[in-house]
Amino acid sequence: MTITTTDFQRWASAHQQRIEVQLKAALPSAELAPQRLHQAMRYVALGGGKRVRPLLAFAAGEVTRADVGRVAIAGAAVELIHAYSLVHDDLPCMDDDVLRRGKPTCHVEFDEAIALLAGDALQSLAIQLLAEHRLADDPSAQLEMVRLLAAAAGSRGMAGGQAIDLAAVGVTLSLPELEFMHIHKTGALIRAATLLGARCGAALDAAELEQLDRFSKCIGLAFQVVDDVLDTDATTATLGKTAGKDARHNKPTYVSVLGVADAKKLAGELRGDALDALDGFGERALRLRQLADFIVLRKF
Ligand code: GRG
């Protein structure tokens, strides 16, 4: 069977729409009190973004033949955590940015207090979603899924990575230190998306789980390397967020440590390692392979 780019685009677009529907249903109505908070939550979570994390969940769900409805809940939960992280990251006390997904950031459109609360409430809603829908036949497997997402977002995951990032401004990091930061800041949630999607389906054996974990680690790092390259290579209009910010803020990145050419080479190597990790999964991992390509070749 010949798989074309168009086939992947059709698959991605159908699943992006599915996530949009799921998020719309999960988010409180903008008419419900407190309206301004709910408006802010919907403003940041709906109608934007590549939805890479939910797509990874859907793709990993195909490996374990998971029910798509269950994966949509898990993917939406991860996307809500991601949306919260972007809102808080853009606040004046962190990256202080005014543009996100081509629109004014949440604290610019609303105000700082509402942005802080919207982020908090998005995070809570994510955990609530995982807890109130049946995602696994075995209750202990579902409990493990809740634990996995909470841990990925916490101080040993994304929030911890962000703390390291904030402390690294103006500091020269070695490649392993940079990797440690991004395994937490960006990688933890990407890993959670993949593992949660897979766990909505049939249990994988330990070796297969290790393969999926290795895939997630490589693709999480590749995602960040490409993000750093795009920050120097792409325009604000293409990215929908302020380009060139890392250098201006004196932040260590893969580009500042390696240079653009070697950073691009590293992204290609990580893609290769990610694909190697999927050996033996056959056609079930087709979408994961295509997503690895999308993540490395994307222009936004
Ligand atoms: C505030 C706890 C806390 C964490 C923030 C994820 C993060 C940590 C900050 C976002 C800033 C950033 C540029 C991170 C690096 C990579 C990244 C997560 C980019 C944005 O994700 P995309 O490209 O965004 O998937 P879209 O808009 O497509 O969803």
The model's pLDDT over 272-284, given as tens digits with 9 standing for 90+, comes to 999 999 999 999 9
Which one has a higher pLDDT value, 189 or 241? 189
Contacts of residue 207, Cβ cutoff 8 Å, sequence gap at least 6: none
Distance CA 205, CA 208 (A): 5
Mean pLDDT of 267-275: 97
Q: Does the model's pTM come out above 0.75?
A: yes
Please, what is the end-to-end C-alpha distance for the chain in angstroms?
29
- Domain presence at residue 1: no
Contact 196, 64 (CB under 8 A): no
At 26, which amino acid appears? A
Q: Is the CB of 179 under 6 A from ligand 1?
A: no
In whole angstroms, how far apart are CA 120 and each of 7, 132, 219, 241, 247?
Answer: 37, 19, 27, 22, 29
- Domain presence at residue 137: yes
Count of domains in the chain?
A: 1
- Domain presence at residue 254: yes
Atom 10 of ligand 1, residue of closest alpha carbon: 86
pLDDT averaged over every residue in the chain: 95
- Domain presence at residue 99: yes
In the predicted structure, residue 2 carries a pLDDT above the cut 80: no
Task: Give the three-class secondary structure for 80.
Answer: helix
pLDDT at 242: 86
CA 119 to ligand 1: nearest atom: 1
| Percent of the chain topping pLDDT 70 | 98
What's the CATH number where 190 sits?
Answer: 1.10.600.10
Question: Cα 168 from chain centroid?
Answer: 22
Closest by CA to 87, choosing from 51, 121, 57, 126, is 121
In the predicted structure, residue 3 carries a pLDDT above the cut 80: no
Domain of residue 40: give its range: 6-297
- Domain presence at residue 18: yes
Closest by CA to 153, choosing from 177, 118, 123, is 123
Q: Is the CB of 227 under 6 A from ligand 1?
A: yes
Q: Is the CB of 19 under 6 A from ligand 1?
A: no
- Domain presence at residue 129: yes
Phi, psi values for residue 104, rounded to 5°: -55, 140
Atom 14 of ligand 1, residue of closest alpha carbon: 186
pLDDT tens profile 157-212: 999 999 999 999 989 899 999 999 999 999 999 999 999 999 999 999 999 999 99
Q: Is the CB of 245 under 6 A from ligand 1?
A: no
